[in-house]
């Protein structure tokens, strides 16, 4: 339930992150032949308004282009896609769990684990008191759709057999223009070791990639958080970075590891 610098998984390294350094999609995806010093026939034709930007004039190049077309079209569509801003109104149901929006009645259950030092050890905040939890639950329950960068969905994870709240999984819209999100989680120790976090996070990833239209989801965590790293690996996420001393948290400089998963990897690997 922690966000915007409160959870290790939600803190973005300051300075020039990998996302910020990449060229914008339009530039990276522009087909060869439509750019250059202005000398090619295609470029001149495009400027003169005679040719669509992506169709080469030379027959041999046009053949090559036709063979590459599905790929080009997919990339163009990807660049023009948006994350769904529809409000989350239907709970996600899995074999053993239900993921639903938070409610004020969840305060005691949330407090029972976010007040614990062991649960908060690798989070950016110290254990919370009841008043703080009450405020946070109210704030998070009000976030029901992903419209702007920084918006998030924090879903309560409820065990269907007895309606107990066992944890929560959070999804943040990190960069809407790159279709990139960030995932995080917290589970009560009483319910850990049962695969609930794996089941709930898999459902959240399916929702993110399938329903909402994300193409890349990352998780950022303390490298000492072995349980969280193991969860990332169970989900099929790949460790892409280990940032050294990039964050000042709880009185010391700490490292961050970054895990990531692409939509196409999720659909081929897990779905």
* Chain residues that interact with ligand COA, rule: CB under 6 A: 7-9, 119, 122-123, 184-187, 192-198, 221, 225, 227-228, 231
The C-alpha atoms of residue 97 and residue 158 are separated, in whole angstroms, by 6
- Residue 157 beta carbon to ligand COA: minimum distance, rounded to whole angstroms: 10
Beta carbon nearer to ligand COA, 9 or 33: 9
**8 Å CB contact between 177 and 148:** no
- Residue 187 beta carbon to ligand COA: minimum distance, rounded to whole angstroms: 4
**8 Å CB contact between 236 and 260:** no
**8 Å CB contact between 129 and 154:** no
For helices 226-234 and 196-206, the axis angle rounded to 10 degrees is 50
Residue whose Cβ sits closest to ligand COA: 195
Beta carbon nearer to ligand COA, 219 or 263: 219
Q: Looking at the chain, how many residues does it have?
A: 271
Beta carbon nearer to ligand COA, 33 or 186: 186
Residues contacting residue 14 through CB under 8 Å, at least 6 positions apart: 246
- Residue 221 beta carbon to ligand COA: minimum distance, rounded to whole angstroms: 4
Beta carbon nearer to ligand COA, 34 or 232: 232
Beta carbon nearer to ligand COA, 89 or 118: 118
- Residue 247 beta carbon to ligand COA: minimum distance, rounded to whole angstroms: 12
Q: Long-range contacts of range 13-16, CB-CB < 8 Å, 24 or more positions apart?
A: 13/243, 13/246, 13/247, 13/256, 14/246
The C-alpha atoms of residue 163 and residue 99 are separated, in whole angstroms, by 11
**8 Å CB contact between 39 and 32:** no
- Residue 68 beta carbon to ligand COA: minimum distance, rounded to whole angstroms: 40
- Residue 114 beta carbon to ligand COA: minimum distance, rounded to whole angstroms: 9
Q: What is the DSSP letter of 211?
A: I
Beta carbon nearer to ligand COA, 114 or 209: 114
């Amino acid at each position: 339930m922690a966000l915007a610098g409160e959870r290790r998984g939600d803190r973005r390294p300051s300075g020039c992150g990998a996302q910020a350094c990449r060229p914008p999609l339009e530039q990276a995806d522009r087909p060869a032949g439509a750019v250059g010093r202005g000398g090619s026939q295609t470029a001149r034709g495009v400027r003169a308004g005679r040719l669509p930007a992506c169709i080469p004039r030379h027959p041999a190049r046009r053949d090559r282009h036709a063979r590459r077309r599905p790929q080009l079209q997919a990339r163009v569509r990807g660049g023009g896609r948006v994350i769904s801003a529809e409000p989350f109104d239907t709970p996600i149901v899995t074999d053993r769990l239900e993921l639903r929006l938070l409610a004020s009645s969840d305060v005691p259950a949330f407090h029972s684990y976010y007040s614990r030092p062991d649960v908060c050890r690798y989070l950016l905040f110290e254990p919370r008191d009841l008043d703080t939890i009450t405020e946070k639950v109210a704030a998070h329950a009000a976030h029901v759709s992903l419209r702007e960068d920084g918006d998030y969905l924090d879903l309560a994870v409820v065990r269907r057999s007895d309606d107990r709240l066992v944890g929560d999984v959070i999804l943040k819209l990190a960069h809407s223009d790159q279709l990139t999100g960030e995932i995080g989680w917290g589970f009560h120790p009483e319910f850990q070791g049962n695969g609930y976090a794996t089941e709930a996070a898999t459902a959240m990833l399916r929702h993110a990639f399938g329903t909402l239209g994300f193409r890349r989801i990352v998780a950022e965590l303390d490298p000492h958080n072995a349980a969280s790293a193991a969860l990332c690996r169970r989900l099929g996420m790949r460790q892409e970075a280990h940032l050294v001393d990039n964050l000042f948290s709880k009185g010391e400089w700490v490292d961050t590891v970054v895990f990531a998963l692409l939509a196409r990897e999720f659909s081929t690997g897990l779905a």
